[in-house]
């Protein structure tokens, strides 16, 4: 009887771990484990749910990018701040130059930093804005074949509750912004 534990290591039940060869990891290309369910290769024969599913471990560059992203979002790093030199960051994070540069590329793709080369270069922080989200949302909508009619239908569902809320809970600043938007049209 083969069981999968939380780290997806196959065990041979009460007799030992992996039989004569010791520990062994299950091979997803080998199909479901004996006695397991074919529709969910991560399930154990006992039907214990999600135990034994593979976990994707993030790359080091993703972890570095996540740490810097968190600092930007929390306001610890603000618009225009220069990140420390590469050598300092490499030492702080305990990573190599290629790993740090990969993290920078991730943050650049999210428009959270810009990197300039040269003597006066380096990485500069940018605060998150809606432009990046709008571009990505447009890409997703285009990929899914969203039509203008779909956009108008969504707008018709979203706008009335927003207008109602504005009418019920407006401030003078809200009204000024609304008047400015109307004047720009």
* Domain ranges, ordered by start, for the chain: 1-55, 60-125, 149-185
Helix (H) or strand (E) run with residue 24 in it: strand 24-25
- pLDDT tops 70 at residue 185: yes
From the list 35, 26, 31, 34, the residue with the least C-alpha distance to 53 is 26
Residue 118's pLDDT band (cuts 50, 70, 90): confident
- How many residues would you count in the chain? 185
Mean pLDDT of the chain: 79
**Distance between CA 89 and CA 164 in Å, rounded?**
49
- pLDDT tops 60 at residue 44: no
- pLDDT tops 60 at residue 141: yes
Is residue 135 within 8 Å of residue 142, measured between CB atoms? no
From the list 55, 53, 57, the residue with the least C-alpha distance to 40 is 53
Is residue 61 within 8 Å of residue 106, measured between CB atoms? yes
- The reported pLDDT for the residue numbered 51 is 79
From the list 63, 96, 67, the residue with the least C-alpha distance to 83 is 67
Phi, psi of 62 (to 5 degrees): -65, -35
Residue 20's pLDDT band (cuts 50, 70, 90): very low
- The reported pLDDT for the residue numbered 56 is 84
Between 157 and 13, residue with greater pLDDT: 157
Burial category of 43 from C-beta neighbours within 10 Å (exposed 0-12, middle 13-18, buried 19 and up): buried
Residues 6+ apart with CB under 8 A from 174: 166
From the list 39, 95, 38, the residue with the least C-alpha distance to 68 is 95
Q: Which of 6-10, 57-61, 97-101 has the lowest mean pLDDT?
A: 6-10
Estimate to the nearest angstrom the gap between the alpha carbon of 2 and the chain centroid: 34
* Residue 89 token pair: 């960051």
Between 94 and 44, residue with greater pLDDT: 94
CATH number, domain 60-125, options 1.10.10.10, 3.30.470.20, 3.40.50.300, 3.30.70.20: 1.10.10.10
The model carries a pTM of: 0.54
**Distance between CA 8 and CA 55 in Å, rounded?**
9
- The reported pLDDT for the residue numbered 119 is 78
* Mean pLDDT of all residues in 111-124: 88
- The reported pLDDT for the residue numbered 74 is 94
């Amino acid at each position: 009887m083969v069981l999968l534990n939380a780290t997806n290591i196959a065990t041979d039940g009460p007799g030992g771990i992996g039989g004569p060869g010791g520990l062994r990891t299950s091979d997803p290309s080998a199909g479901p484990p004996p006695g397991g369910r074919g529709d969910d290769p991560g399930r154990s024969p006992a039907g214990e749910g999600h135990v034994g599913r593979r976990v994707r471990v993030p790359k080091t560059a993703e972890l570095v990018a996540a740490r810097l992203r968190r600092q930007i979002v929390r306001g610890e790093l603000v618009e225009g701040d220069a990140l420390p030199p590469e050598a300092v960051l490499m030492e702080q994070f305990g990573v190599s130059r290629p790993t740090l540069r990969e993290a920078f590329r991730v943050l650049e793709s999210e428009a959270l930093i810009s990197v300039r080369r040269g003597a006066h270069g380096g990485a500069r922080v940018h605060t998150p804005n809606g432009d990046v989200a709008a571009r990505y949302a447009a890409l997703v909508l285009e990929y899914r074949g969203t039509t203008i009619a779909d956009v108008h239908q969504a707008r018709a569902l979203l706008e009335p509750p927003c207008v109602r809320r504005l009418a019920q809970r407006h401030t003078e600043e809200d009204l000024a912004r609304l008047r400015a938007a109307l004047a720009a049209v």
